[in-house]
Amino acid sequence: YCSRKLSSKVERAPTTMMNADMDAVEAENQVELEEKTRLINQVLELQHTLEDLSARVDAVKEENLKLKSENQVLGQYIENLMSASSVFQTTDTKSKRK
């Protein structure tokens, strides 16, 4: 009876150790899975941020081109006004002295 009981305990010991090892592996896998999930979420968040920044850069470029065009039109308008106005005409001092 004693040898059978001892034999039963010896047989259960590897199984208990295997279960403990499996639990440790499962816990490690769970930690890795959580870390991967966290990293994936972080990557997705960064991708969305990059998309938002790219859209903002495109909008600023478009606004910049629009403002440059408006500045050219205003500059031309001012030049035309100045050339049409006698106030901005160059005076020939030699002809006035004669």
Please enumerate in sequence order all residues whose Cβ is within 8 A of that of 82, keeping only pairs 6 or more positions apart, or say none: 88
Residue 20 pLDDT level (bands cut at 50, 70, 90):
confident
Q: What pLDDT is stored for residue 3 in this prediction?
A: 47
Task: Return the HEC string of the chain.
Answer: CHHHHHHHHHHHHHHHHHHHHHHHHHHHHHHHHHHHHHHHHHHHHHHHHHHHHHHHHHHHHHHHHHHHHHHHHHHHHHHHHHHHCHHHCCCCHHHHHC
Please enumerate in sequence order all residues whose Cβ is within 8 A of that of 88, keeping only pairs 6 or more positions apart, or say none: 82
Instruction: Tell me the per-residue pLDDT of 67-85, one tens digit each, with 9 for 90 and over.
Output: 999 999 999 999 999 888 8
Mean pLDDT of 15-32: 78
Check residues 7 and 38 and name the one with the higher pLDDT: 38
* Total-model pTM: 0.53
Alpha-carbon distance 62 to 56, whole Å? 10
